Amino acid sequence: MSQQDIITQVTPESTYASPSITNSTNSTGNTTLAPGGASTNTDDADYNSLIHLNVRGKEFTITRDELMSLPESILLCLFPNGVFLDMNGQIITNLTENDVVYVNFDPQCFQYIIDVFSKAQQELESQPGTLVNNLSLSYPGTTRTQQENILETKPAIIVLREDLDFYVIPPVAGLNMEEMKVLKRGVSAELLKNKLIFSGLGYRFADQDLDTLGEDGLRLQDANVKQDNAKGDGLGPAEQHLFDMLCSSGFEVKDKWGSRSLELGKCVISSLSLVRLKTAKQRREEALSLTPTPTGTPPDSPSLTPVASQASNGNGSRSRSRSRIAQLANSASRAASRSLSKGRSKVDPNQTKLLLFWRKPARKCWWSHGWIEIIVDDPSLKRVDKLLNMKEGHADSNGKIKVKVHVRRVWTLELSVIGVQ
């Protein structure tokens, strides 16, 4: 796969009337999660009805409205087939409050999701006029400027998810299946220790930075060889745009994943971070607190805006890939300029770009490689360590094995606005 970065999403000219995720019943009677502004069922759904979930053995009870208000990217992880399943994996044809929906998802991550969105919902309900403004983005006549201003009044959450697939290259030939399993477990343990969000993106932290050290005092590993031709922080142009947009919206350089876990039976690590969108007012207040005597307004950071992907064309050249990256940045600037010229009051251009991710998840996929050093603490690894020392001509073992790892990362980015139907 090419090292060029491709963002899959929609064009900036697309309308913001994104479909919401609602509960419906299809022609066969199965309860499904279907897109659309309203339920496809003739009867109005009771959004206050309770749904009982069994998330890998842990029980949760939430309302239908709370479930359907979750971002689309999260709902697709919870219900990849778009249906509710019972204990035997059968589709629940008519969901009632007596049914239990079984979900194959990390329960700690789900608890993290519920906690963040519940807190944001409570803050919204404490604001005056919540019921009146709750449907302010539902009507087709809503202007883009009104949509941008809504981010200043309603809580918004940036949803960033990473799916990391890693592939372990055997350090020596002739390893059996059990030895490979132990190697993979060791690699996964080291990758799980590194919770720094932007480490996987390629950001180069300072060697003396304490945040890059694990609990054991050793430097965290990410199997991501930094680009030698990149700037001092290790990021390429496309990664720099994405990094700047996230850090100007609420993320911090040293932020860590809110949830990070290994998928059962897979060489896949899933991570999730839910960060409250930092409004222009909040950024101005922070700037004033950090700079008592500001001399002017700092320039806006460059950011990356997604456009429609031509993913079906797999023969794109290197120059064409770079052209698409350039179009992303140019489209972001044009979208921001159009919005600023139409609005009477100056709207934060960063919010204009983030609205492109509202209910329209964007994906970024790239490959990297590197070396992961694991400790020989399992009997199955002693033979591997001995063979490796013989191969390299070492008489004694240092108690560690260095393994080459190829990594495929997929980032999914989405904006969720609380209280908007």
Alpha-carbon distance of 391 to 383, in angstroms, equals: 12
Question: What percent of the chain is predicted at pLDDT more than 90?
Answer: 39
Task: State residue 127's pLDDT score.
Answer: 75
Task: State residue 1's pLDDT score.
Answer: 45
Task: State residue 405's pLDDT score.
Answer: 96
Task: State residue 298's pLDDT score.
Answer: 47
Query: Using one digit for the tens of pLDDT, what is the confidence trace for 125-141?
Result: 887 765 544 444 444 44
Task: State residue 98's pLDDT score.
Answer: 92
H or E stretch at 130: helix 130-133
Task: State residue 323's pLDDT score.
Answer: 45
**What is this structure's pTM?**
0.74
Do 347 and 145 meet the contact criterion of CB atoms below 8 Å apart? yes
* Partners of residue 347 on adjacent β-strands: none
Task: State residue 389's pLDDT score.
Answer: 77
Query: Quick count: other Cβ atoms within 10 Å of Cβ 116?
Result: 19
Task: State residue 14's pLDDT score.
Answer: 38
Query: Quick count: other Cβ atoms within 10 Å of Cβ 92?
Result: 16
Query: Using one digit for the tens of pLDDT, what is the confidence trace for 361-390?
Result: 999 999 999 999 998 888 888 888 888 877
Task: State residue 112's pLDDT score.
Answer: 98
Alpha-carbon distance of 289 to 50, in angstroms, equals: 45
- Calculate the CA 51 to chain-centre distance: 25
Residue 330 contacts by C-beta under 8 Å, 6 or more apart in sequence? none
Alpha-carbon distance of 92 to 83, in angstroms, equals: 8
Task: State residue 148's pLDDT score.
Answer: 59
Task: State residue 384's pLDDT score.
Answer: 86
Task: State residue 181's pLDDT score.
Answer: 94
* Partners of residue 270 on adjacent β-strands: 163, 261
Residue showing tokens 């202007």: 143
Segments of the chain with pLDDT less than 70: 1-47, 129-148, 226-232, 280-351, 393-397, 421
Task: State residue 199's pLDDT score.
Answer: 92
Alpha-carbon distance of 61 to 69, in angstroms, equals: 15
